[in-house]
Chains A and B, each alone.
Chain A
């Protein structure tokens, strides 16, 4: 049968089918992020995907939590009877800015081949390079799906201010997940939080949400480079060291001397984290920070903190932990200033080793 093809009809039908496809995507919202070539064609990544210069780091930042976790090694590891599974959540100091995967806190703990209660300790790095307790809770909630035996939550004061909770892009672009945490675990989120991006119907269509689809695809493509090089971060040959001289500035966000007003801190997010972990033991850690000895170091510890605010925060954390029965470790000053790299919270491999050595006894202790 030799039927004449009418290009206009083909064009019209093609457009119609595409329109239908994009609308179906909006209505269906398939969990495309769960499909991944990682942990099958490529090895899983040792840390969550994050990258500001993908061409050099073979890594990129995206907002799809399913895709992020599906690319992580934790998604490909079935937990054996002999595994004591530890997940660590936290900011860039946990993720490991400027560090190779094996140099991060998780990497160093894994190299120690710890044995807890007769099981092999396997530590998974679920840190992500933005500072917000709500972001940590969101990742913890996802991480709980992988059945950890212990959660280590590394945090610092700068993750607490309310205005930092939803402004980080990863949180802002996961509005439904954050609302779910509010519904299920009592996370306090404003109904009209301007930071949270509410996707319109158009934004959920294939065309409207094309960026997200493209990011997932790019993450899969970069898997080739991750598999072939083991590189997931750009390591500059030179970088600016963390600041040690400061102006005599005692300001800290909107807080005023002499005390941190707890109403301005997301203590509810901290409590939500413990509710999310539920029965799973959790170790709350005040992470190390640079203690400067430069100009005005009698006023400020570092770039982030004036002394009064940080001292008050430490006292508050001790009191809160005692009050709630949380296992809390304060490692604020265990790392010497020369073991920090480009920020007051980013450590050198030796600095991370020091933290790992301090945390290892707690891991062994908390397995029981």
Chain B
């Protein structure tokens, strides 16, 4: 999100909250979110696809709701209203094709309306095709999970994305001479997919709360968190969405003066407890992202400077710059998301808690992109550990830890992209976590016995912080660059082997 996007969204959220408070809050968030996914989708070289991608996000989200919703939630009349509203917004956006002056919410000219109607018709047919399954169907959940993972793989494996771009260009009768894997950029899919997978899996496990279509869509494409997270959980999100403090409640039973004094008290508490903390968070996030991170980006490690810098000292400087740039960038966006959501009364989960000040790698990962690691813990690490433990002849504990840590970190690496460098980055952290676990087991008692004074404790802690930070910083070399050879060259320079 660019600064102007953030300012517009924050101003819109503040104005809505200031003028209307809780009235139509879900509707406001839903409409804003639908518009934002079109507005933020960058222009693509494949004709029309910067319009079709947001449409696909909506279609997938609606299908996911349908197969996860229970019968009671499905039967709500409100769902039809939500469906009509979303379809209406998409149709209106499509109609801007004929009014160029109104094309401010789409990256390029929307495709012809008849094509959109055809897509809606086909989606509708598929929808009604599955609608006869008017009872919850576990097979559909499995199919849903499978489709999401396949789409995810296609988007994350550059060779597959290339062929997707090739196919779509051919479909659109466009030139095939300049096909690139970068042609196809589905904004927000990584986060949307993880929210959807969470709901599908929780539905399988029978622990998903019952929500209507509007609530579900708002959760999946909630605009403050659409592009960079955090990855909230539906049951937590819904609690905030449904709980609205309001001075309007019981208004009929109150006298005029009671109403006024209650309104004043509410306004004061709204300012102090909602607007100011949210505004502060927004300001901090904006400063982190647009001042600190963007400044550090000028000197942070990248493909070009990795090949140009030959001095060990300066190589460390640009690696440090990258380490802080990625932190300020990502945590800045999280602050911005939390700030805007806060204005709307939604308390999104924290994603970062001073990760570079943690004395070991395990704690680092408990405090870096927390919602992603929690997601993997819940849906991969814990189930796989339980499964390994359930073996009749379970493997040794160290072996199990090695396997689960490495596999989890590899998957987190793949979430960023399925390339050799992300694989190495995942492996680096997986092995690091395993080594820390074993080291901690072996030395915990000795360390506790040695650190008997506050000074020793501080020394142990600070050396842990330094070691962890540098381990993480070295890992960023794989993350920032695209080839193992270049990364290895940088690491050699960092250690003076040039």
B120 within 8 A of A: no
Q: How far is the CA of A54 from the CA of B295 in the complex (A)?
A: 13
A23 within 8 A of B: no
Q: How far is the CA of A218 from the CA of B291 in the complex (A)?
A: 11
Contact B314 A227 (CB under 8 A): yes
B295, B305, B308: which contacts A217 (Cβ < 8 A)? B295
- Knowing A221-B298, A221-B299 touch, does A229 contact B308 (C-beta < 8 A)? yes
Contact string against A for B residues 452-494, beta-carbon threshold 8 Å, 1 for contact and 0 otherwise:
0000000000000000000000000000000000000000000
Chain A residue at minimum C-beta to C-beta distance from B308: A229
Chain A residues with CB under 8 A of B315: 228
**Chain A nearest CB: distance from B385 CB in Å?**
44
Contact A228 B295 (CB under 8 A): no
B271, B275, B276, B305: which contacts A228 (Cβ < 8 A)? B305
Chain B residues with CB under 8 A of A225: 298-299, 305
**Chain B nearest CB: distance from A323 CB in Å?**
51
A293 within 8 A of B: no
Contact B311 A228 (CB under 8 A): yes
Would you mind naming 21 contact pairs between A and B with Cβ atoms under 8 Å apart? A7-B275, A7-B276, A221-B295, A222-B299, A224-B299, A224-B314, A224-B317, A224-B321, A225-B298, A225-B299, A225-B305, A227-B314, A228-B305, A228-B308, A228-B311, A228-B317, A228-B318, A229-B305, A229-B308, A229-B309, A231-B308
Interface set, chain A 212-258, CB cutoff 8 A to B: 217-218, 221-222, 224-225, 227-229, 231
* Sample of 15 more A-B contacts, CB < 8 Å, known A7-B271, A228-B317: A7-B272, A8-B271, A56-B304, A218-B298, A221-B295, A221-B299, A222-B298, A224-B314, A224-B317, A225-B298, A228-B308, A229-B308, A229-B309, A229-B314, A231-B308
Chain A residues with CB under 8 A of B314: 224, 227-229
Chain A residues with CB under 8 A of B321: 224
Q: How far is the CA of A228 from the CA of B318 in the complex (A)?
A: 9
For chain A, the bracket of interface size reads 10 to 19
Contact string against B for A residues 51-76, beta-carbon threshold 8 Å, 1 for contact and 0 otherwise:
00011100000000000000000000
Chain A residue at minimum C-beta to C-beta distance from B276: A7
Q: How far is the CA of A351 from the CA of B82 in the complex (A)?
A: 72
Contact string against B for A residues 100-141, beta-carbon threshold 8 Å, 1 for contact and 0 otherwise:
000000000000000000000000000000000000000000
Interface set, chain B 164-178, CB cutoff 8 A to A: none
Contact A224 B308 (CB under 8 A): no
**Chain B nearest CB: distance from A188 CB in Å?**
41
Chain A residues with CB under 8 A of B298: 54-55, 218, 221-222, 225
Interface set, chain B 292-333, CB cutoff 8 A to A: 295, 298-299, 304-305, 308-309, 311, 314-315, 317-318, 321
**Chain A nearest CB: distance from B264 CB in Å?**
14
List 3 A-B pairs, minimum CB-CB distance, nearest first: A228-B314, A7-B276, A229-B308
**Chain A nearest CB: distance from B408 CB in Å?**
36
Interface set, chain A 173-200, CB cutoff 8 A to B: none
**Chain B nearest CB: distance from A216 CB in Å?**
13
Q: How far is the CA of A194 from the CA of B304 in the complex (A)?
A: 42
Q: How far is the CA of A54 from the CA of B317 in the complex (A)?
A: 19
Q: How far is the CA of A97 from the CA of B476 in the complex (A)?
A: 35
Q: How far is the CA of A229 from the CA of B313 in the complex (A)?
A: 12
- Chain A CB within 10 A, most for which of B298, B308, B317: B298
Q: How far is the CA of A229 from the CA of B318 in the complex (A)?
A: 11
**Chain B nearest CB: distance from A283 CB in Å?**
36
Q: How far is the CA of A8 from the CA of B280 in the complex (A)?
A: 12
Q: How far is the CA of A195 from the CA of B301 in the complex (A)?
A: 40
Q: How far is the CA of A250 from the CA of B248 in the complex (A)?
A: 82
Interface set, chain B 267-286, CB cutoff 8 A to A: 271-272, 275-276
Q: How far is the CA of A196 from the CA of B406 in the complex (A)?
A: 64
Q: How far is the CA of A102 from the CA of B244 in the complex (A)?
A: 68
Chain A residues with CB under 8 A of B304: 56
Q: How far is the CA of A231 from the CA of B309 in the complex (A)?
A: 10
Contact string against B for A residues 34-65, beta-carbon threshold 8 Å, 1 for contact and 0 otherwise:
00000000000000000000111000000000
Chain A residues with CB under 8 A of B299: 221-222, 224-225
Contact string against B for A residues 330-361, beta-carbon threshold 8 Å, 1 for contact and 0 otherwise:
00000000000000000000000000000000
Chain A residue at minimum C-beta to C-beta distance from B280: A7
**Chain A nearest CB: distance from B55 CB in Å?**
34
Q: How far is the CA of A7 from the CA of B272 in the complex (A)?
A: 7
Chain B residues with CB under 8 A of A11: 276
Contact string against A for B residues 342-385, beta-carbon threshold 8 Å, 1 for contact and 0 otherwise:
00000000000000000000000000000000000000000000
**Chain B nearest CB: distance from A361 CB in Å?**
38
Chain B residue at minimum C-beta to C-beta distance from A218: B298
Chain A residue at minimum C-beta to C-beta distance from B314: A228
**Chain B nearest CB: distance from A70 CB in Å?**
19
- Chain B CB within 10 A, most for which of A7, A8, A11, A224: A224
Q: How far is the CA of A126 from the CA of B362 in the complex (A)?
A: 54
Contact string against A for B residues 16-55, beta-carbon threshold 8 Å, 1 for contact and 0 otherwise:
0000000000000000000000000000000000000000
Chain B residues with CB under 8 A of A228: 305, 308-309, 311, 314-315, 317-318
Interface set, chain A 1-29, CB cutoff 8 A to B: 7-8, 11
Chain B residues with CB under 8 A of A54: 298
Contact B318 A224 (CB under 8 A): yes
Q: How far is the CA of A55 from the CA of B304 in the complex (A)?
A: 10
Q: How far is the CA of A227 from the CA of B414 in the complex (A)?
A: 35
Chain B residues with CB under 8 A of A222: 298-299
Chain B residue at minimum C-beta to C-beta distance from A42: B314
Contact string against A for B residues 218-231, beta-carbon threshold 8 Å, 1 for contact and 0 otherwise:
00000000000000
Chain A residue at minimum C-beta to C-beta distance from B299: A224
Q: How far is the CA of A222 from the CA of B309 in the complex (A)?
A: 14
Chain B residue at minimum C-beta to C-beta distance from A227: B314
Chain B residues with CB under 8 A of A229: 305, 308-309, 314
Q: How far is the CA of A56 from the CA of B304 in the complex (A)?
A: 8
Chain B residue at minimum C-beta to C-beta distance from A231: B308
